Structure 1
Amino acid sequence: MDSLAKTPCGPDTALAEESAEELYDSAPCGYISTLPDGTLVRVNQTFLKWMGYSREELLGGKRFQELLTGGGRIFHETHCVPLLQMQGAVNELSFDLVRKDGQRVPVLLNTVQKKDASGKTLFHRTTLFDITDRRNYERELVLARKRAEEATRAKADFLSMMSHEIRTPMNAIIGLSNLLGQATLPPLYQEYARILQSSSENLLVLLNSILDFNKMEAGKLMLEERRFDLRQLLHGLCSTLSVKAEEKKLSIRVEFDPEVPNALLGDPVKLGQVLTNLLGNAIKFTEQGAVTLAVRRLHGDAEGVFLGFKVSDTGMGIPQDQLTQIFEAFTQASYDITWKHGGSGLGLAICQKLLALHGSKMRVESVPGEGSSFAFDVRLKIASGAVALDAPAEDLQDTQTLQGLKVLVAEDTAVNVFVLSQFLRRWGVDFDVVENGRRAVEQVQARPYDLVLMDLQMPQMDGCEATRLLRRLPGERGRHLPIIALTASALLGTDAQVADAGFTDVIGKPFMPRELFAKLALHGSRLGAAPRARSGEAPPCQERGASEAAGGGPRFDLEKFKSLAEGDRSAEIELNTLAIGTFEKQKQDLRKALEAGNVEAFDFHTHQLKMPLALMKPRVLLKALDQGRKLIEMPGSQASRLRDVIRTIHEELDAIVDALKEDVREKAGVPVHRVGPCTSMWD
Structure 2
Amino acid sequence: MTHIGYQSRSVFSVRERVLLWLIGITLCLAAGVVSVFVDLSKAEREFTKQASHIQEVLSRRIGSLEVVLTALVGLHQASDEVADVQFSTFSEELLGPYPYIRSVLSLRRVSASERPLLEQMKQDSGYFQFQISELAEQGKLRPAGDRPEYLTIDQIEPLTPKISQLLGYDALSNPELSAAIDAAVRTGQVAASMPTLLLRGSKGLLVFKARYQGRYPPNTEGERQDMLDGAIAVVLDTDVILKGIIPSPTRADVFLLYPGSESLDQVTRHNMDVEKTDTVSLPAYRPVFSYRRVLDVYGQPVVLKISQQAGMENITAGWLLMAMLSPVVVMLAMTWAWRNQRIRQDQEQELEETIRDDERRFKYVVETAFDAVVMTDQNRKIITWNRRAEQMFGWHSEEMIGMPMPPGLLPTENYLDKLTDRSESDEEMLINDHIETIARHRDGTTFPVEMAISVAAHGKCYQQSAFIRDIRVRKAQEEKLQQAKEAAEAGSRAKSEFLAVMSHEIRTPMNGVLGMTELLLDSGLTGSQRRHAETAHTSGQILLDVINNILDFSKIEANMLRIAQSPFDLQEVVEAVLQMVAEQAREKRLELFSDIPTGIHGKVIGDGPRLRQVLINLVGNAVKFTEKGEIVVRVTPLEETDDEILILFEVQDSGIGISADKLASVFDVFTQEDGSVTRQFGGTGLGLTISRKLVALMGGELGVESEKYYGSRFHFTLRFEKQAGGREPVTASLDQFVGTKVLVVDDNMPIRSLLLRKINEWDMQATGADCGDRALQLLQEAATDGKPYALAILDRMMPGMDGITLARKIKADPKTADIKLLMYSALHEEADGAAWREAGIQAYLSKPARLTELRDRLLSLLADNSSKKEGVDVLPAKPAETAQSGWRILLVEDNLVNQEVAKIMLEQLGCRTDVADNGKVALERVKQKNYDLILMDCHMPEMDGFTATTAIRNQESDGIHVPIIALTADVQKGVQEQCSIAGMNDYLSKPFSQNALQAVMKVWLTEKDKETGFV
Q: Alignment partner for residue 102 of structure 1, among 432, 441, 445?
A: 445
Residues 136 and 157 from structure 1, CA distance in 2 versus in 1: closer, same or farther, beyond 3 angstroms?
Answer: same
Q: What amino acid is aligned across from residue 283 of structure 1 in structure 2?
A: V
Q: What amino acid is aligned across from residue 430 of structure 1 in structure 2?
A: R
Matched, 1:52 2:533: no
Deviations 1:367-406 (A, max 9, x none): 3333433333444333335799999998464431114151
Partner of 2:895 in structure 1? 413
Partner of 2:690 in structure 1? 350
Q: Partners of 1:37 and 1:244 in 2: how far apart?
A: 93
Q: Partners of 2:483 and 2:409 in 1: how far apart?
A: 29
Partner of 2:56 in structure 1? none
Residues 121 and 138 from structure 1, CA distance in 2 versus in 1: closer, same or farther, beyond 3 angstroms?
Answer: farther
CA contact (8 A) 2:653 2:712 kept: yes
Partner of 1:235 in structure 2? 575
Q: Partners of 1:228 and 1:383 in 2: how far apart?
A: 9
Residues 523 and 24 from structure 1, CA distance in 2 versus in 1: closer, same or farther, beyond 3 angstroms?
Answer: closer
Helix, strand or coil at the partner of 2:516: helix
Q: What is the correspondence of 1:470-485 to structure 2 with a 5 Å cutoff?
A: 470-472=952-954, 478-479=960-961, 481-485=962-966
Q: What amino acid is aligned across from residue 287 of structure 1 in structure 2?
A: E
Residues 75 and 43 from structure 1, CA distance in 2 versus in 1: closer, same or farther, beyond 3 angstroms?
Answer: closer
Residues 74 and 92 from structure 1, CA distance in 2 versus in 1: closer, same or farther, beyond 3 angstroms?
Answer: closer
Deviations 1:596-634 (A, max 9, x none): xxxxxxxxxxxxxxxxxxxxxxxxxxxxxxxxxxxxxx6
CA contact (8 A) 1:404 1:428 kept: yes
Residues 189 and 259 from structure 1, CA distance in 2 versus in 1: closer, same or farther, beyond 3 angstroms?
Answer: closer
CA contact (8 A) 2:604 2:726 kept: no
Residues 371 and 125 from structure 1, CA distance in 2 versus in 1: closer, same or farther, beyond 3 angstroms?
Answer: farther
Residues 413 and 178 from structure 1, CA distance in 2 versus in 1: closer, same or farther, beyond 3 angstroms?
Answer: same
Matched, 1:274 2:614: yes
Partner of 2:937 in structure 1? 455
Residues 96 and 469 from structure 1, CA distance in 2 versus in 1: closer, same or farther, beyond 3 angstroms?
Answer: closer
Q: Alignment partner for residue 657 of structure 2, among 287, 301, 317?
A: 317
Partner of 1:214 in structure 2? 554
Deviations 1:163-219 (A, max 9, x none): 222233222222222233344445544443233222222112222222233344445
Q: Partners of 1:353 and 1:79 in 2: how far apart?
A: 60
Residue identity over aligned pairs, in percent, reads 32
CA contact (8 A) 2:420 2:455 kept: no
Corresponding residue pairs, total:
510
- How far 1:236 sits from its partner (Å)? 1.4
Q: Partners of 2:430 and 2:661 in 1: how far apart?
A: 55
Q: What amino acid is aligned across from residue 501 of structure 1 in structure 2?
A: A
Query: Deviation above 6 Å: which 4+ runs of structure 1?
Result: 78-82, 84-87, 386-394, 634-638
Partner of 1:93 in structure 2? 434
Q: What amino acid is aligned across from residue 165 of structure 1 in structure 2?
A: E
Q: What amino acid is aligned across from residue 915 of structure 2 in structure 1?
A: V
The structure with the greater share of residues assigned to helix is 1
Q: What amino acid is aligned across from residue 478 of structure 1 in structure 2?
A: I
The structure with the greater share of residues assigned to strand is 2
Q: What's the TM-score, normalizing by structure 2? A: 0.44
Matched, 1:430 2:771: no
Helix, strand or coil at the partner of 1:425: helix
Q: Partners of 1:338 and 1:79 in 2: how far apart?
A: 77
Q: What amino acid is aligned across from residue 209 of structure 1 in structure 2?
A: N
Helix, strand or coil at the partner of 1:399: helix
Helix, strand or coil at the partner of 1:478: coil
- How far 1:320 sits from its partner (Å)? 4.7
- How far 1:259 sits from its partner (Å)? 7.2
Q: Partners of 2:404 and 2:711 in 1: how far apart?
A: 80
Residues 475 and 314 from structure 1, CA distance in 2 versus in 1: closer, same or farther, beyond 3 angstroms?
Answer: same
Partner of 1:155 in structure 2? 495
Q: Alignment partner for residue 519 of structure 1, among 988, 996, 1000?
A: 1000
Q: What amino acid is aligned across from residue 520 of structure 1 in structure 2?
A: M
- How far 1:154 sits from its partner (Å)? 0.5
CA RMSD of aligned residues (A): 4.2
Higher relative contact order (CA 8 A, sep 6+): 1
CA contact (8 A) 2:448 2:470 kept: yes
Q: What is the correspondence of 1:647-666 to structure 2 with a 5 Å cutoff?
A: none
Matched, 1:401 2:868: no
Q: Alignment partner for residue 178 of structure 1, among 518, 523, 534?
A: 518
Helix, strand or coil at the partner of 1:317: coil
Q: Partners of 2:501 and 2:945 in 1: how far apart?
A: 18
Q: Partners of 1:301 and 1:157 in 2: how far apart?
A: 46
Q: What amino acid is aligned across from residue 288 of structure 1 in structure 2?
A: K
Q: What's the TM-score, normalizing by structure 1? A: 0.64
Partner of 1:467 in structure 2? 949
Structure 2 gaps, min length 5: 1-359, 731-849, 854-873
Partner of 1:141 in structure 2? 481
Residues 237 and 27 from structure 1, CA distance in 2 versus in 1: closer, same or farther, beyond 3 angstroms?
Answer: same
Partner of 1:382 in structure 2? 722
Q: What is the correspondence of 1:223-622 to structure 2 with a 5 Å cutoff?
A: 223-256=563-596, 260-299=600-639, 301-384=641-724, 395=876, 397-406=878-887, 407-444=889-926, 446-472=928-954, 478-479=960-961, 481-490=962-971, 492-528=973-1009
CA contact (8 A) 1:410 1:440 kept: yes
Deviations 1:80-126 (A, max 9, x none): 988x989858596354461414332444748695x88xx99764666
Q: Partners of 2:420 and 2:715 in 1: how far apart?
A: 55
Residues 261 and 143 from structure 1, CA distance in 2 versus in 1: closer, same or farther, beyond 3 angstroms?
Answer: farther
Helix, strand or coil at the partner of 2:543: helix
Deviations 1:439-466 (A, max 9, x none): 4445455555432222223455433333
Q: What amino acid is aligned across from residue 408 of structure 1 in structure 2?
A: L
Q: Partners of 2:992 and 2:682 in 1: how far apart?
A: 22
Residues 253 and 90 from structure 1, CA distance in 2 versus in 1: closer, same or farther, beyond 3 angstroms?
Answer: farther
Residues 345 and 635 from structure 1, CA distance in 2 versus in 1: closer, same or farther, beyond 3 angstroms?
Answer: closer
CA contact (8 A) 2:568 2:608 kept: yes
Residues 492 and 375 from structure 1, CA distance in 2 versus in 1: closer, same or farther, beyond 3 angstroms?
Answer: same
Q: Partners of 2:875 and 2:1008 in 1: how far apart?
A: 21
- How far 1:337 sits from its partner (Å)? 2.6
Q: What amino acid is aligned across from residue 883 of structure 2 in structure 1?
A: L
- How far 1:45 sits from its partner (Å)? 0.9
Residues 27 and 497 from structure 1, CA distance in 2 versus in 1: closer, same or farther, beyond 3 angstroms?
Answer: closer
- How far 1:291 sits from its partner (Å)? 3.0
Q: Partners of 1:110 and 1:369 in 2: how far apart?
A: 75
